[in-house]
Amino acid sequence: MLLIDLAGYELAQEEQELLEHPLVSGLILFTRNFHDKAQLQALIKSVRQRVKKPLLITVDQEGGRVQRFREGFTKLPAMQSFLQLDRLQLAQEAGWLMSAEMFALDIDLSFAPVLDLGHCSKAIGDRSFGEDVATMLPVAEAFIDGMREIGMATTGKHFPGHGHVIADSHLETPFDDRPKETIFNHDIQPFKQLIAKGKLSAIMPAHVIYTQCDSQPASGSSYWLKEILRKQLQFNGVIFSDDLGMKGAGFMGNYVERSEKALQAGCDLLLLCNEPDGVVQVLDNLKYQPTSTQKERHLSLMKRKQISWSELTASPRWQQAHQQLATLQDQWLEWKAQNA
């Protein structure tokens, strides 16, 4: 149930042993694991060959400022650009291309899309498609449709909405003091409507405390995950915790306590990044046995399609989308500079 990270360009023996631990389900890759495409492919191949169990290999390859692999990959624009620059038709191509490029590297899942409303949050900013549900939802859904077309599982984040807190949950625990009615009538709507359409394979809750609803961060709140997400919204997919190494998760205690609270609240899979000692503490001290349903949910996120990089980049669709998205990225950077 734990997704961990790696220190560098190659898989160390100690990391292999951690990945083989029965409580470890997969890993998440970062920019520090990427030198070039050949090295990255070699790293992933080494992981697949040396660890003798199905591992979920993941990354944050959203686009914009959250794109872990850049050199040799399509420059993906920030999600805000599709609405702001009136290029809505490119959203589906972006979802398809991003997913296809990850599949070509033997990566199962990119944590996307961001469904937070608004751009004021330091942690979210232009990662958000927009501020208004009616206008952003068709664009987000098009991006999702592109991901689903190639076969990648989709992860809506950060439930029930991270877009209206200024504080960055990477650095502190944010508090959202707005009325419960505002959150349910506004922020939660993208999640609610996409769940109803069966478009989300997974959900990642926020390390935010919604003070008018519950005393715990959503990532460790049975109210948000069991009562609202599972019962009220009827979501049956995977619930990821956001990174439990983030300062925003510190409200829930040490790493073992954070993991226990997230699991008790209803998370299926936990991210714990940039804290190797914390990973060891959790694996040594956490007493947990995943259910058969959780195991099935985990396996449901594995990619089902094999595609080579040469095959992908030779396709006319990739070539056209690659050029269009790179152009949009340049236009977006120009727009931001003019409106800074």
User: Would you call 73 helix, strand, or coil by DSSP?
Assistant: coil
**Tokens 């805000």 map to which residue?**
80
Side-chain half-sphere of 203: how many Cα atoms within 13 Å? Answer: 30
β-bridge partners, 27: 4, 57
Environment class of 149 (CB within 10 Å of its CB; exposed 0-12, middle 13-18, buried 19+)? middle
How would DSSP label each residue in 221-258?
Answer: -HIIIIIIIIIIS---SEEB---TTSGGGGGG-SHHHH
Selecting among 21, 35, 119, 170, the annotated active-site residue is 170
Task: Please name which of 78, 96, 220, 73 lies closest in space to residue 151, comparing C-alpha atoms.
Answer: 96
**Tokens 């829930």 map to which residue?**
252
Annotated catalytic, 158?
no
Selecting among 5, 168, 242, 268, the annotated active-site residue is 242
User: Among the residues of the chain, which ranges form H helices?
Assistant: 13-19, 37-50, 80-84, 90-103, 133-150, 180-182, 189-196, 222, 255-265, 276-285, 292-300, 309-314, 316-338
Tokens read off for 168: 């960055």
Backbone phi, psi, residue 85, to 5°: -105, 10
Annotated catalytic, 170?
yes
d(CA 286, CA 154): 28
* Residues marked as catalytic: 170, 242
